[in-house]
Amino acid sequence: MENTPSALWYQGWYRFARRLDSPNFGPRPVDTNIELVVIHSISLPPANCEQDYGGGYIQQLFTNTLDWHAHPYFETIKDQKVSSHFLIERTGALWQFVSTYDRAWHAGQSQYCNKAGITKNNCNDFSIGIELEGVPGETFTDAQYESLASLNAALSHIYLGLEWTGHEHIAPGRKDDPGSGFDWTRLRREIG
């Protein structure tokens, strides 16, 4: 982690992301190394409803300010207290809700086997969560991939050897995002 302010980061906050603090986070365990980035997808309302991208509902969910009566689906998620570190909208706009120093509540019950073959539980402890606005199984925009590549470059300045995975891979059977519409080959190519 960075010890002094830089052109890109200050205390785990990325200078080129729009900051909106979420209360849905906690401290990471002592001496935790950040080694994983978890890609998610989210749409509010969800896929079986009419899409309303860019409506601000995701930001409201992550900051516990969502009007539960604004859509019938919202009543079903009323008690959820969740947030990722970052959100990339369909336009490529980048938001940050939690410092990378802290543990955002994005992965839930999860398990990851890293390149060294070590399996770890509770991925929130050692990961950074990035939500892409979209529906599992549908494609994402060029602007989102561009923002994701730029964010990866910035993260790589302070966290060496990051591995990337999808929420569906660390919580199989429970989660299906970002889904088949996410282009992992493109991501690997763009992040080197």
Q: Is residue 11 part of a domain?
A: no
Residue 43 has pLDDT above 80, yes or no: yes
Q: Where are the alpha helices (DSSP H) in the chain?
A: 57-62, 142-158, 167-170, 184-191
Helix (H) or strand (E) holding 14: strand 13-14
Q: Is residue 171 part of a domain?
A: yes
Q: Is residue 135 part of a domain?
A: yes
The domain total for the chain is 1
Q: Is residue 119 part of a domain?
A: yes
Confidence of residue 41 (pLDDT cuts 50, 70, 90): very high
Q: Is residue 9 part of a domain?
A: no
The predicted structure's pLDDT at residue 52: 66
DSSP per residue, 114-156: -TTS-EEE-GGGGEEEEEEES-TTS---HHHHHHHHHHHHHHH
Give yes or no: 75 in active site.
no
Give the CATH number of the domain where residue 101 resides. Answer: 3.40.80.10
Q: Is residue 78 part of a domain?
A: yes
pLDDT tens-digit series, residues 44-87:
988 655 566 888 999 999 999 999 998 899 999 998 999 999 99
C-alpha–C-alpha distance, residues 47 and 24, integer Å: 24
Residue 14 has pLDDT above 60, yes or no: yes
* φ and ψ of 30, to 5 deg: -55, 140
* φ and ψ of 111, to 5 deg: -150, 140
The range of the structural domain enclosing residue 89 comes to 30-191
Q: Is residue 1 part of a domain?
A: no
Q: Is residue 2 part of a domain?
A: no
Q: Which residues contact 30 (CB under 8 A, 6 or more apart)?
A: none
Catalytic residue among 35, 131, 133, 168: 131
The predicted structure's pLDDT at residue 163: 95
C-alpha–C-alpha distance, residues 13 and 190, integer Å: 23
